[in-house]
Amino acid sequence: MSFAPILVHAAAASSSGPDYLTIGLVVVLAVMVIFMFRNSRKRKREAEELKSKFVPGAEVMTQHGIYGTLISIDEEKNEAVIETTPGTKLRVHRQTISRVIDPVEAEQDVIEEPAAPEVNEDHAVQAGEPQYGERLDEDKPKRAPRKKAAE
């Protein structure tokens, strides 16, 4: 059995009209290049914004989740000094600082404590309906009696 007639037939079929597979691959490649270019520009812009906010006294967070106040930056050694608590200074690589915390952002991170639940006059049982997932004493399921182990 020879493959020559099959190859000749395939070559003749592809030359008769446009090759949609090749056109599709070129379009996908062009879209990928465009998105890579946009992503690169966006990362450069974000890096420039972050660099402009690096001033001593700024509240920063490292990639490891350590919050502190930026004390100084040494461009030559690529080091930054962060004060995490009063008297505790950390010397870190400058690129480990992932973001600068804005004062508005810090206020939003404060967790408000829930209000105290309402209680009845005995100050023992909550008044009103139980909250989702909360059981009342009368709602507890009855336990089956334990079976004695066979000896």
pLDDT exceeds 80 at position 89: yes
State mean pLDDT over 64-80.
91
- Average pLDDT value over all residues in the chain: 78
Closest CA to 58 of 96, 94, 87, 101: 101
pTM (predicted TM-score): 0.44
How far apart are alpha carbons 99 and 60 in whole angstroms? 6
Q: Is residue 131 part of a domain?
A: no
pLDDT at 7: 46
Per-residue model confidence as pLDDT tens digits over 8-60: 555 555 556 789 999 999 999 999 999 999 999 999 998 888 888 888 888 99
Per the model's pLDDT, the better-predicted residue between 136 and 50 turns out to be 50
Domain that holds residue 31: 7-21+24-51
CATH number at residue 70: 2.30.30
How does residue 93 score in pLDDT terms, banded at 50, 70 and 90? very high
pLDDT exceeds 70 at position 66: yes
How far apart are alpha carbons 111 and 116 in whole angstroms? 15
How far apart are alpha carbons 5 and 68 in whole angstroms? 74
Weakest-pLDDT range from 54-58, 86-90, 144-148: 144-148
Q: Are residues 88 and 104 in the same domain?
A: yes
State mean pLDDT over 110-133.
61
Q: Is residue 117 part of a domain?
A: no
Q: Are residues 74 and 95 in the same domain?
A: yes
End-to-end CA distance of the chain: 78
Closest CA to 83 of 54, 106, 59: 59
